[in-house]
Amino acid sequence: MLHIGLHFLVPLGVALLFYRRYWVKATFILIVTMVVDLDHLLADPIYDPERCSIGFHPLHTTPAIILYGLMFLIPLLLKSKGETLSHQSGQGIIHLVGLGLLIHMLLDGVDCMF
């Protein structure tokens, strides 16, 4: 239960810390990235409390995580110097989706350690 709660609390904290001007929209986008867990429906059994999702489910593999990192970084690299990413631009949304997916993978990875 704590694990699921962290998937809501950590994005909220990140949005409040780093995206304060539009924290509600940022929180929403970060939380919506939990749909990545739909790949759990491909597993048998669908839920196994002892299974580590990192490396097991297709959207929780290293190539996918690299893609999420690129989604987070590329919009930052493409923006003009001194410019901030607009939360309404496509680049800003891709950046937040990538961040949400990275947060999700980090939380799932921590869960695998225990």
**Number of H-type helices and E-type strands within the chain:** 4, 0
User: Long-range pairs for 17-25 at CB < 8 Å and ≥24 separation?
Assistant: 19/87, 19/96, 21/87, 22/87, 25/87
Average pLDDT, the chain: 93
More confident: 81 or 45: 45
**pLDDT per residue over 65-110, tens digit each?**
999 999 999 999 988 777 777 777 889 999 999 999 999 999 999 9
Domain coordinates in residue numbering, the chain? 2-112
Distance CA 100, CA 12 (A): 11
| DSSP, res 21 | G
Share of the chain above pLDDT 70, in %: 99
pTM: 0.92
